[in-house]
Amino acid sequence: MPLKEQLKNILEKRKKRDLTRSLVVAPPSSVDFSSNDFLGLSRNKILHEKFLNTLITFPHPPLGSTGSRLLDGNSSYAESLDTYLAEFHNAESALVFTSGFDANVGFFSCVPQPGDAVIIDEFVHASVHDGVRNSRASLVTSFKHNDIENLKVVLENVLMKFGAKSNIFVAVEGLYSMDGDIPPLKEIVEVLKSFNAYLYVDEAHSNGVYGYQGRGIVCELGLERHVFARLHTFGKALASNGAAILGPKILRSYLINYARPLIFSTFLSYSNLISIRCSYEVMSSKIGDQLRQNLMKLINIFRSNLKLPHDNLLPSTSAIQGIIVPGN
C-alpha cells in the first residue's frame, strides 16, 4: 500500500475514535480561557515597551543565534541570563535550553546512568515520558498521582531490586498541567531522605505564579536545597520562549557535554533571550504582584460562578481548572 494511503487510513481510524487533532486560529474577539498566558503578560503594554526599548539599545545583534549553544549560538548575554536565573531562583546554576520539552528530554535521556532507576508521577508531562524512553536507566516506573504511600512502596521495591548503590530519580511537577493540582512536595522530600533519591521538579506551570516574586513552588516552600534539579519554562506565565534547568554546577557542566537537544539544536535568538530577561523583570516587580493577585481573584470568581455538577469541576486553586466532559 502506498505511504499516503497508509497515513490516510491511520487518520481515518483516529477520526472514528473522535481523536482527530487540527490547528485552529481563535477569532480576535474571543475571550481566552485556554492559553498558558496566566498573568496576561503576552499583551502587557509595560512589558512590550520594556522589550522594545531594550532591543533598541543592543548594537546590531544578529536576528538569529547563528548556531547551537555549544558551538556558535552562545553569548555573554546568554551566560549572564543563566547567572541571573540561578540567583533569582536560589539555585547553584542554571542552563537555558530552547524549550521545556527539549530540557526535559535532555535531562532524562542522559543523566540517569545504567543501574539507576527513574520513578515518575503517573501524570507527569509527556516530555518527561519521552526523555525516559531514551534513558539509559535500568528501570523506569511510576507511582500513583500524588500518592505518598504508593511512592514509598515503589521506592522500597526499587531499593530491594537494585540496592543502595543505585541512584534513584523521582520526577514530579510543581503544578500539574491537566488537573491543576500541586504535589505534596514537603512530604515527598521527607520520604526521599530515607533513600538514595534525587528529586526533579518541573515548574513549567508554576513559574511566575507562585512564590515570592513568582519564583515558583519550590522556592515558596523553601525546598531549594532538597531538590536536585528544577525545570523553569518561559513560554507560559512569562510570555516568551525557552526554558532553564536549575541545579548543581556539576549538572550544568554534564548537560553541556551530554544533553543532545542542547548540543544539536539551534539556540534561542538574541531577541528571545532579551524577552526572557524583560519578562522576569516585569514579573518580579510590583506589576507582577498585582497580576498574581488579579489572577487569584479571577480563579475565585470562576469557581464561585461556574454552575456545574460537583464531579465535573476538579478541585484546584490554580489557574488550571479541569472540567471533566465524558467521552472524547
Q: Which of 309, 100, 306, 296 is nearest to 214 (CA)?
A: 296
Residue 122 vs residues 55, 74, 173, 174: alpha-carbon distances, Å? 42, 36, 11, 14
pTM given for the model: 0.94
Which of 109, 115, 206 has the alpha carbon at shortest distance from 164?
115
- What pLDDT score does 31 carry? 84
Distance in angstroms (rounded) separating the CA atoms of residues 201 and 232: 9
| Count of all residues that appear for the chain in the document | 328
Task: Tell me how far apart the alpha carbons of residues 318 and 85 are, in angstroms, rounded to a whole number.
Answer: 24
Give the 3-state secondary structure of the chain. CCHHHHHHHHHHHHHHCCCCCCCCCCCCCCCCCCCCCCCCHHHCHHHHHHHHHHHHHCCCCCCCCCCEHHHHHCCHHHHHHHHHHHHHCCCCEEEEECCHHHHHHHHHHHCCCCCCEEEEECCCCHHHHHHHHCCCCCEEEEECCCCHHHHHHHHHHHHHHHCCCCCEEEEEECCCCCCCCCCCHHHHHHHHCCCCEEEEEECCCCCCCCCHHHCCHHHHCCCHHHCCEEEEECCCCCCCCCEEEEECHHHHHHHHHHCHHHHHCECCCHHHHHHHHHHHHHHCCHHHHHHHHHHHHHHHHHHHHCCCCHHHECCCCCCCCCECCCCC
Decide: 37 and 237 in contact? Cβ < 8 Å: yes
pLDDT per residue, tens digit, the chain (328 aa), is: 899 999 999 999 999 998 999 998 988 888 888 889 999 999 999 999 999 999 998 877 778 888 999 988 999 999 999 999 999 999 999 999 999 999 999 999 999 999 999 999 999 999 999 999 999 999 999 999 999 999 999 999 999 888 778 999 999 999 999 899 999 999 999 999 989 899 999 999 999 999 999 999 999 999 999 999 999 999 999 999 999 999 999 999 999 999 999 999 999 999 999 999 999 999 999 999 999 999 999 999 999 998 887 788 888 999 999 898 887 7
Query: What pLDDT, on the 0 to 100 scale, is given for residue 26?
Result: 86
